[in-house]
Every structure is written in C-alpha cells, then in structure tokens.
A = this chain, B = another copy of it.
Amino acid sequence: MKKDRATIHDIALKLNITASTVSRALNDNPRISDATKKKVLKVAKQINYQPNHIASALRSGKSRLIGVIVPTANRNFFSSVIRGIEELANSLNYKIIISQSYDDFEKEVQTVEALLNARVDGIIASIAKTTENVDHFKKVLEKGIPLVLFDRITNALEVSQVVIDDHYGAYQTVDHLIKNGCKRIVHFTSNPRINIYHERRRGYEDALKDNGLEVDPNLIIFSNLQLEDGRRIMQEIIDSKIDFDGVFSSSDYSIMGALQVLKENGYKVPAQVKIAGFGNEPFTSFTEPPITTVDQKSIPMGKITAESFFELLNADSASSVAKKTILKPELIIRKSSTNNS
C-alpha cells in the first residue's frame, strides 16, 4: 500500500523541484508553467497521488473564478460577507469577482449574464429587493454551475442557502425595547416578499404579543429603508400626532434618518423615544447617542457561504448537498435604547 501514501514530496523528488512548486502546480497556480503542471500531474498519476486537488486541476477549462452578486458592495454587511468568502476562496486559489445588482431586477439578470460571460466556475448571490422571478438563476443551475444564496434568499430555488435568524434578531431587539419601557414601537420594514424583512417583522410582532402588547398596523411602515425614507416617515409620524415611544427599523440607514428628524423636532433619545436598527453599520457607533442594532455575523456568514459553495463544487451531484445554514445574530445594545443614560 506504499503507493497510496504518496506525498507531494515524492513528486518533488522525482522531478527535482520543490514541494511548494508541486503544490502550486496541483492547485493550478498561474505562476507555474503549463509544462511543469503537466509533468507534475503525470508523475502524480504514476505514483497514485490522489488528493481532491488533482480532480480540480485535471478538470479542463476552469477559470477558478467565483462570481458574487450583491445589491451593492458599499454596505458593511455585504462587503464583510464578501471578505469572508474571499478569505476561504483565496486559500483554495480561487478568485472572487463582484457584480452589483443595485437592487434592480433587470440589472440582476444582466449581472448573471455578465458572470457567465466571464466563465465563472460558480455564483454566490444575495437577491435584489425588486426581483420578480428567478429564471435567470434557474439558467445557471441548468448549465450545471454551482449556485449558493446568502441573506436574501428565495424558496423558489433548490440550492444551498446561508441566512441569519432574522426573526430571532428582531425578537431580541423588540423585547429589549419593551423591557426598557417602550409600549408603542414603530416598525420600519420593506417588501414582505424578501425573506429578511418578513422574518424581522414576524420577530417584532411576536415580541409584542409575548409581552402582552397590541400589534398596531398603523405603526408598521413600508419603504425602501434608505436614510431619506427614515427621515420622511419619522416626520410624517410626528406630524400625524400618532402616539409612539420607540422605533425599531429593519435597516440602520432609515433609523439614522429617523434619529436626525427626532432630534430636529426636539425629541430626547433615549429619554423620550428609544430606537434600534439592524445591520451594525459602522456609523451606528459614531452617532449621538450611539444606536442599538443587530450584528449579522457577516464574516462567519461569508466563510460558511464559501464552504457550502466548495462542498457543492466538489460534489458529484449538486442536489445531494443543498442545505440551509441559519446563524444567530447578536443584539448590540448601545445608548439609544437604554434607560440609564
């Protein structure tokens, strides 16, 4: 059985090159000449050296590129997930190229085409807010190209998905606001067809109910959750004289806008109104008061997303390993929501 335990050092010895060169050749590193790669693979076969790497090195026409589609790379959450994906991918000698949908359905369809054009070996995506159907992703699967979704997922596709427990994150936040005295909590939400907004709203409603509070539809406001949306909605609520003592937003951007408008209107945060966002964007710790929010575990999410992707890439049949991973987010309590300030 000696042949089965062959190492890269055996190959290196036979060819009078370093083990590191052998390793790079087996990983299809572009810095190694094709001639050396061929020699290494030939010897590797002769002495029955058989790690997973060979299979991928022998696979022809691979670009070693993974396409990542995000609504926008200019969000701490998405850029951190990409970083997590990139770290694992780079360690396996894969490179990441990013394409942005700008939360636009038509653009998302085009980005999928662009990535296929770039001959990516697979696609990792978070779906646009306005996406109406997933035919463009079905085309990817029909071509036998691995696809993994994260955060903004859909049940219309049988693929591996990585999400956080949005219901849990929202529930924890609203429960915390209630424990700090809030009874009339406004909720900023968005398109209920997007799983994350639907789940966060469910978490909000369940926390109210479990604490014996009424769910008032007048306090649940739909928008695109941008800073300007938060500003506009907060001003409308103030003008309407609706009674409220807390705001929980599904996005840090709209809660930032709400905080500005509350202060402009003379409200004391947190003394009169307690607020919390979702996403842990860096600016939430820069504001006065700093804003309570939910951290989405973006780096682990990126790592696990990449792991799911490579499982799929190395599997014989795609469907056999499709799985859903759910991560627990973390409530970050800051001054904006607490009594002792």
Q: At the interface, yes or no: A111 with Cβ under 8 Å from chain B?
A: yes
Interface residues of A in 57-78 (CB under 8 A from B): 63-65, 67, 72-76, 78
The count of chain A contact residues (Cβ–Cβ below 8 Å) is 41
Q: At the interface, yes or no: A96 with Cβ under 8 Å from chain B?
A: yes
Complex interface: chain B residues within 8 A of A75 (CB)? 74
Binary flags per residue of A82-120, CB closer than 8 Å to B gives 1, else 0: 110010001000011111101000010011011101111
Contact call B97/A97, Cβ cutoff below 8 A: yes
Q: At the interface, yes or no: A135 with Cβ under 8 Å from chain B?
A: no
Complex interface: chain B residues within 8 A of A34 (CB)? none
Interface residues of A in 211-270 (CB under 8 A from B): 227, 256, 260
Q: At the interface, yes or no: A79 with Cβ under 8 Å from chain B?
A: yes
| Residue in contact with A74 in the complex, picked from B76, B107, B120, CB distance below 8 Å | B76
Q: A119-B119, A286-B286 are in contact. Are A95 and B114 (CB under 8 A)?
A: yes
Complex interface: chain B residues within 8 A of A107 (CB)? 90
Complex interface: chain B residues within 8 A of A78 (CB)? 74
**Shortest CB distance A230–B (Å):** 12
| Beyond A73-B73, A96-B114, A118-B118, 11 extra complex contacts between A and B, CB < 8 Å | A64-B114, A64-B117, A65-B114, A72-B79, A74-B75, A96-B99, A96-B100, A97-B97, A97-B115, A260-B286, A287-B287
